[in-house]
Amino acid sequence: MSSNAELLGAAPLFQGLAFDDLERLGGAARLQHFDAGEAIVEIGEPGRSLFVVVSGHVQVLYPARILEVELARLGPGDFFGEMALLNDKPRSATVRSVGPVEALVLDKSEFKQLVFDRPQVALNLLEVLSVRIYQADQQIGGLSDQAIRDTLTGLLNRRAFNERMVIECDRARRYQETFSLILLDLDHFKSINDTLGHDVGDEVLSWIGRILTLHTRAADMPFRIGGEEFAIVCPATHPDLARAVSQRLVDVVREASPPIRHKLNLTMSASYATCPDDGTDMEVLYNTADQALLQAKRDGRNRANDPIVIP
């Protein structure tokens, strides 16, 4: 028996197959190496191959809401990529290597024919898939908004912001895309808490959350990242548009009045940074926008500043 056939024969999916079937599959399979952290398959792409892990481990990831959720971690003998082959649909999850991985790669036509011809393989596949679907439902259904959403404003929180920035930076580098980060900070917010109390301060923050939700595009993602600090991640947004959005939000806050029992003249300062113009790394983009925000405060507040280049 060939080495590939032996490796396939050890996988639960192919248990019970005859010698000739394993030899045929082994001859059609190729051994492929993947580096640590490499995306072996990506969600949405067409499925052309089935993968059987020979060595190492992989993560099966699903982008629930904005976070990548690990649905499963697979090791030697496990397989993935079968669903796209069976139903000709795009990949339903991303699979990434945890460390160096070796996998046998089987062509789509060979695998589909085997499933149709050999009832034992179909039964093995059905058993594994039923367990996977149950586990995935449990994990995705158990995700709580509490982990990623700020309870006061209803906006996504700092943890979600960090996750989203990593994803957007990675996508921008990989596909040469553009996105912008907008930072905003309420002016003199401490004096509101000190003079009117934290309950009024909370009402103001909640109102700001509604303002940011109402005055941003559906694709934009507003976050509360600190006490009175907010951020908006804006996909496919160039510097001119980011500047206009920043200024518009500053203007809206200045001209509107929060629906509370005290009359307040609120203002907000803002800034932005754009990937790749101002950097392709999350930390660089954040620091660039943050320095511009601090300068807006020094310049008198109630304004939106352009990015400041950090030497």
Which residues is 221 bridged to in the sheet? 233
How many angstroms separate the CA atoms of 280 and 85, rounded? 35
Q: Which residue is catalytic, options 45, 228, 229, 255?
A: 228
CA distances from 297 to 97, 190, 267, 291 (A): 45, 14, 11, 10
How many Cα atoms are found within 13 Å in the side-chain-facing hemisphere of 221? Answer: 23
Please answer whether residues 158 and 152 qualify as being in contact, where contact means their C-beta atoms are separated by less than 8 angstroms.
Answer: no
Per residue, the 3-state secondary structure of 166-220, as one string, reads HHHHHHHHHHCCCEEEEEEEECCHHHHHHHHCHHHHHHHHHHHHHHHHHCCCCCC
| Residue 56 backbone class (left: φ over 0; alpha: ψ -120 to 50; beta: rest) | left
Q: What is the dihedral of CA 153, 159, 162, 168, to 10 degrees?
A: -70
> Other CB atoms closer than 10 Å to residue 225's CB: what's the count?
20
- The DSSP call for residue 47 is P
Cα distance between residue 166 and residue 238, in whole Å: 19
CB neighbours of 129 closer than 8 A, spacing ≥ 6?
Answer: 82, 83
Establish whether 228 is a catalytic residue: yes
Classify residue 215 by burial, with Cβ atoms within 10 Å: 0-12, 13-18, 19+.
middle
Can you name the residues that pair with 105 across neighbouring β-strands?
A: 30, 51
Q: What are phi and psi of 18, to 5 degrees?
A: -70, 160
Active-site residues, by number, are: 228
